Chains A and B, each alone.
Chain A
């Protein structure tokens, strides 16, 4: 191995171990910033020693021991400088823990718990959703500030500041390093799941930029979801979100044409859908539905959204789509999470099931909704239904309105092309 290869190997090991390391250190130092610095110290030690000694058999344990030694050095230094009561307590705890010979065995059992606590702390409600997303990618995903900045199309300084502030807020508010229980667990889990889905959508919706970091956001979100599904095995909405992301991700390659133009779901080449992800998505959905039914409560919106995505995934060709089931699922979704966007979706499904007239009635009823006033998909859907009904002049006006509302250049072009085709084929 060359020196560069060794460095890359060490960095790969570190990335794998980082979240566990920070989680384990958090139990001792109770401060995210300090835990992260100690983990970095351990990486520096590895980069100094492993090129000569080789990568140890149990690199995770090596890094943890190195980080603990750094922690002890730090506490001793702090004790001399300024003897704080609380920290002295932690320092003693660290020394005791380090002295225990079977600490590693004890640690292994706690790794899962530590990771879960770390996810909960990164997604704590005292932080803004943007800060939660950045901190989660940093601590759990192990992404660098530069990578996060690139993915969110923001200057690195902004992300840096966001993360520094988030860590400071967690310290100031004395957010405890613990996994919530009972009713609070559910509430906090909602916030964790919405952070993961926010990260996913940021990559999936790709409103701007052609950067390779954006699909990476989807991958990171999926990875975090899968980790969470391992840690919280009995929570239906966790599996629901994982199912939703697996199935949406399965269409990633089919969503764009050769020159990057968006391809709508029903026009996609389904042979380009990733069957492995679909299979995993359907399995996760089955699990979510079983758990949901056992809990006796309404299915969570993620579970319903995944069920809708699954209807498409199961259809080998667009014509095989089970529209009746989709209409029903949108109906249920609208009951537990009412939103005009859900209604718009239901209108399209109704049109597919009963014809454009049925869809148009619902779309027209939505037209006055202030939330949809600037939503380009409302005129876009209305235009398509009018076109199918042969009302081409009206359709054309709707497509033009939609084109004026969209933020996406390629989509605008697509909409203007459709407006044009209505004009040229009108009598």
Chain B
């Protein structure tokens, strides 16, 4: 099953991360994959100053340009993992947070973990599609 992790933190913490942190991150991604928690997609987000909010409310669509100064923490990155269970996702995310603790002293933030309801997630095993029928 697939989970998305949305990492939220204050935009004041947006310093370029040290090399050691990035290296440790690469190591952890590989190690997680070997342990069956595969990162299938990930990305960091540019500051909210580069973004905008498009909102429908009261029958009206409004556009508000960033930065979103009123929010204490904003989504700064995301990752999608393929894991066996929610518990595995929690454990995996905990390890990524431990890495932040070790390499980015004082960093604070939160990873919200949500199961993805994509096309592959609601799976039905009743069909049989033999290889020859595939073409």
Contact = CB atoms under 8 A, between A and B. Distances in A.
A262 B133 CA distance: 10
Interface residues on B, range: 35 or more
Contacts of B80: 276
Contacts, number: 142
B119 interface: yes
Contact of B41 (A214, A215, A276, A341): A276
Nearest to B124: A256
A8 interface: yes
B126 A206 contact: yes
B20 interface: no
A379 to B, nearest CB: 12
B91 A9 contact: yes
Given A12-B88, A16-B91, A276-B80, A260 B124 contact: yes
A19 B35 contact: yes
A348 interface: yes
A179 to B, nearest CB: 15
B132 interface: yes
Nearest to A208: B128
B65 interface: no
A266 to B, nearest CB: 9
Given A12-B85, A204-B129, A411-B128, A17 B35 contact: yes
A272 B126 contact: no
A294 interface: no
A243 interface: no
B45 interface: no
B20 to A, nearest CB: 16
Contact of B132 (A231, A261, A348): A348
B102 to A, nearest CB: 9
B41 to A, nearest CB: 6
B123 A252 contact: yes
21 contacts: A12-B90, A15-B88, A19-B34, A20-B34, A205-B128, A209-B125, A210-B125, A212-B125, A215-B125, A227-B34, A255-B127, A257-B127, A262-B129, A264-B129, A273-B119, A274-B118, A276-B80, A312-B134, A330-B135, A380-B133, A381-B132
Interface of B: 30-31, 33-38, 40-41, 80, 82, 84-85, 87-88, 90-92, 98, 118-135
Top 9 closest pairs, chain A to chain B, by CB: A256-B127, A12-B87, A260-B126, A274-B120, A255-B127, A262-B127, A377-B132, A16-B35, A214-B125
